[in-house]
Amino acid sequence: MKRRIFKKEHEMFRKSFRRYLRDKVLPFYEEWEEAGITPREAWLEAGKNEFLCPTAKEEYGGPGADFLYSVVIMEEMYYHGVSSLFWPLHNDIVFPYIDLYANEQMKKKWIPKCVSGEAILAVAMTEPDAGSDLAALKTTAVKDGDHYIVNGSKIFISNGQLADLCVVAVRTDEGGRPHEGVSLLVIEADTKGYRKGTNLKKIGMHAQDTSELFFDDCRVPAENLLGEEGKGFKYLMHNLQQERLVLAIGGYAAARGALDITLDYVKKRKVFGKTIGELQNTRFTLAEIATKVQLAQSFFDDLIPRHMAGEDLVAEVSMAKYWTTDLQFEAADQCLQFFGGYGYMTEYPISRFFVDARVQRIYGGANEIMKELIARKLGL
């Protein structure tokens, strides 16, 4: 079905990026999964081909493209089962903080390196005792002349090992209401007192490094403050709309990817003299998944242009994030079943679709939090 939101140039870009994935990513992806991290060379190669920070302005060395180019990258990566190569986090979740809130001097210093792949981005909100509750934030930043002294720790930080620049949520004011004292600092990896923990072992998303981060009397230049002090919670809430949309788009694309590789498999695999695809249970189950995937696509083709136009879509994006990531897991689970024992083997891509899907319902705000946000918008 033709996607009306994409123009000819977007589809040309899709073909180019899909070819890049097949030539430069898929042949090496298993190695990266086993290593538990993606090599920097892959990031630099992506930067060379203008696949990093596509929305970065030309004045900072970026392509100056619209958000739909990012959507193409997300869809293709999740569709091909390489979601733990976390370029969308870099491109569309963390980069906007720098693009929107950094001062001009810092933009000129950081953005060209974000575009080239020389500087890999991460965002650090989650703490050991504060998951989705930013009001419980304990990492502190105390002003000391032209620096902040940062103390605390973060956990489950995606790109935590590779990150050269980390947007860190800190508490700059202990008084007043909890949300009012939150600020955002960009902390560079070579800053004294900034330490990365070990690369955490996960049940899925193996090629994506995840870490604990520690800050012990870490001296951060005051110019690394994003926006205004005390407005970090506001900035986080504003950018969470796009973060959750990114995860939701990934969920939809992964569901379609799982569906398509399963359709191909059941048309060939035979049991009891028939292909699996000829059995009624298979036909009905895949018909249901295909219907849900199509509904998700229609939802996004309405939602994405509205997001690009600047609409406040907290309820709609929360709906999309919880529903499509649930769909992603459902599709991967039911599709794996048709592969039988082979589906449990890591050599079959459907197994990766399954394990990578589970975390989508947790990070970016657990799906139960999404339902709470929707309920609030309903006046409940």
Structure tokens belonging to residue 362: 């947790």
Task: Return the bridge partners of 11, or none.
Answer: none
Q: What whole-number distance in Å separates Cα of residue 332 and Cα of residue 350?
A: 7
Phi-psi region of 272 (alpha: psi -120 to 50; beta: other; left: phi over 0): left
Catalytic residue, chosen from 50, 75, 243, 316, is 243
Mutual angle of helices 314-338 and 349-357, in 10-degree steps: 140
Please give the sequence-ordered ranges of beta strands (E in DSSP) within 227-343, or none if there are none: 270-271, 274-275
What is the maximum alpha-carbon separation in the chain? 78
Task: Return the bridge partners of 57, or none.
Answer: none
288 is catalytic: no
Reduced to 3 states (helix: H, G, I; strand: E, B; else coil), residue 305 is helix
Task: Return the bridge partners of 51, or none.
Answer: none
Phi-psi region of 230 (alpha: psi -120 to 50; beta: other; left: phi over 0): left
Provide DSSP, 218-246: EEEEGGGB-SSTT-HHHHHHHHHHHHHHH
194-197-203-208 Cα dihedral, nearest 10 degrees: 50
Q: What whole-number distance in Å separates Cα of residue 301 and Cα of residue 249?
A: 10
Q: What are phi and psi of 27, to 5 degrees?
A: -65, -20
Structure tokens belonging to residue 373: 């946000």
Q: What whole-number distance in Å separates Cα of residue 134 and Cα of residue 132?
A: 6
Reduced to 3 states (helix: H, G, I; strand: E, B; else coil), residue 198 is strand
Q: What whole-number distance in Å separates Cα of residue 111 and Cα of residue 96?
A: 10
Would you name the residues annotated as active-site residues?
243
